[in-house]
Amino acid sequence: MIPLQLRRIPAKVRQNQNDRQRETHMILYNSVGPNPHVVRMFMAERGIKLPMEEVDIMAGDNRKPPYLETNPAGQLPALELDDGTILTEIWAICEYLDETQPGDSLFGATPEARAQTRRWTRWADLNIIEPLANGFRYSEGLPMFKDRMRCLPEAAAGLKACAQDKLAFLDGQLAGRAYVAGDTFTFADVMLYCFLTFGIAVGQSLNPALQRVTAWYEKVGARPSASA
Q: Which residues bind ligand GSH (CB under 6 A)?
A: 31, 33-35, 57, 62-63, 74-76, 88-90, 148
Please say which residue, 89 or 140, places its beta carbon nearer to ligand GSH: 89
Please say which residue, 11 or 59, places its beta carbon nearer to ligand GSH: 59
Please say which residue, 37 or 166, places its beta carbon nearer to ligand GSH: 37
Residue closest to ligand GSH when measured from CB atoms? 33
Q: What share of the chain is helix, strand, coil (3-state, %, to 5)?
A: 55, 5, 35
Least distance (Å) from ligand GSH to the CB of residue 4?
A: 27
* Contact status, residue 17 vs residue 6, Cβ threshold 8 Å: yes
Tell me the one-letter amino acid at 34: P
Least distance (Å) from ligand GSH to the CB of residue 36?
A: 6
Instruction: Work out the number of other CB atoms within 10 angstroms of the CB of residue 134.
Output: 21
Tell me the one-letter amino acid at 75: Q
* Contact status, residue 14 vs residue 194, Cβ threshold 8 Å: no
Crossing angle for the helix pair 187-201 and 211-221, nearest 10 degrees? 100
Least distance (Å) from ligand GSH to the CB of residue 88?
A: 6
Least distance (Å) from ligand GSH to the CB of residue 10?
A: 36
Please say which residue, 31 or 116, places its beta carbon nearer to ligand GSH: 31
Give me the half-sphere count of Cα atoms (radius 13 Å) on the Cβ side of residue 176: 2
